[in-house]
Amino acid sequence: MRTQFYDIIGDIHGHADALDALLQKLGYVFREGVYQHNQHKVIFLGDFIDRGPQQREVIQLVKPMIEQGYALSVMGNHEFNAICYATLGQDGKPLRAHDAKNNKQHEAFLAAYPDIDERLQIINWFKTLPVYIDTGGIRVIHASWNEKALHEISTLLDVKQCLIGNVYEKCSEKDSAPYRAIETLLKGPEVVLPDGVTFTDKDGHIRSVARIKWWTPAHHELKERLHLGAELTSDHKLADMTLDSGHNYPQTNKPAFIGHYWMNEEIPKPLSHNCACLDYSIAKGGKLVAYKWRGEK
């Protein structure tokens, strides 16, 4: 049987013109109201919405592709956040607070869909996006392939790897196991640094929690396995740190594709031998990037 070829596309964030151009460059043809290809299929990495100026136009492009079988997609953290923003918990309050920070993050999506009924239709469609895809040849997830986290939420998923409709409240309860699992899978794993160890992130904020580069081989030094930014203090204390073995993706595993991480290199390249990030910051003046997978391991 012939291997299905995939074109994996990174975070779009409301940039329909860039998506249109990229699909055409990949050889897709707009026919009968949908982009299609006779031999290849797209896998989107989620984060269709927020930030960019063409929220509605992006949904109008990707939704028919997925519904008519020309594309697949996983859920991004922005789709998850939008669902929680629109969903009330048992206490009658939104699962994602309607505070100034969250309102600003969602303002482009809310403006694109001012009619509440239409917006809820899109929210319900977001719920049909799986947390992960394993085609047999490749693995696709928004931020982090983590076996422990996947096992933690396995009972909360249906046969298509979609979150069961009533579990969003469980996944929004801070410090619960489902919450930690979703945070890891859709936003990436983090680790608390030892007392006195901080760094300055790209926005100038002092951080004592660091993202884990889970794709980096376990035998590498800890500094290489963490996003530590600038002005690292008391770094000698890192020598006493260890990372959970679950925060590692062995080089023998099948290829994994992710988005989320706002890469900014001029020339895209894989993160490791068997992992590639396709989020190259289109919403911050960067590129919309695809990986053409043709069966390689």
Tell me the pLDDT tens digit for each residue of 1-26. Answer: 567 999 999 999 999 999 999 999 99
The CATH number of whichever domain residue 272 belongs to comes to: 3.60.21.10
Contact between 50 and 13 under an 8 Å Cβ cutoff? The reply is yes
Contact between 76 and 259 under an 8 Å Cβ cutoff? The reply is yes
Residue 187 domain-assigned (yes or no): no
Neighbours of 88 (CB within 10 A): 11
Quick check: helix, strand or coil at residue 221?
coil
DSSP label at 16? H
Interval 139-144 mean pLDDT? 98
Alpha helices in the chain (DSSP H): 16-25, 55-67, 77-86, 100-112, 116-126, 147-152, 177-187
Residue 74 domain-assigned (yes or no): yes
The two three-digit tokens of residue 44, written as one number: 């989107």
- For residues 235-269, one letter each, b for 16 or more C-beta atoms within 10 angstroms of the residue's C-beta and e for the rest, the string is eeebeeeebeeebbbeeebebbbbbbbebeeeebe
Band (64; pLDDT cuts 50, 70, 90): very high
Average pLDDT across the chain, whole number = 93
Per the rule left: phi > 0, alpha: psi between -120 and 50, beta: everything else, 97 is beta
Residue 21 domain-assigned (yes or no): yes
Question: What is the phi/psi pair of residue 86, to 5°?
Answer: -95, 0
Residue 130 domain-assigned (yes or no): yes
Residue 16 domain-assigned (yes or no): yes
Interval 33-51 mean pLDDT? 95
Q: Flag the least confident range among 124-133, 242-251, 263-272.
A: 242-251
Band (201; pLDDT cuts 50, 70, 90): confident
Confidence (pLDDT) at 229: 73
Q: Is the pLDDT of residue 158 over 70?
A: yes
Confidence (pLDDT) at 203: 67
Interval 160-177 mean pLDDT? 94
83 closest CA partner among 153, 2, 171 = 171
Chain centroid, CA 255 distance in Å: 16
pTM of the model: 0.93
Residue 173 domain-assigned (yes or no): no
Residue 14 domain-assigned (yes or no): yes
Confidence (pLDDT) at 1: 57
Confidence (pLDDT) at 274: 95
65 closest CA partner among 47, 95, 43, 86 = 43
Residue 106 domain-assigned (yes or no): yes
> What's the CA gap between 281 and 289, in Å, rounded?
9
End-to-end CA gap in the chain? 17
What is the number of structural domains in the chain? 1
Q: Is the pLDDT of residue 252 over 90?
A: yes
Range of the domain at 75: 5-148+254-293
Q: Which residues contact 94 (CB under 8 A, 6 or more apart)?
A: 84, 85, 86, 87, 88
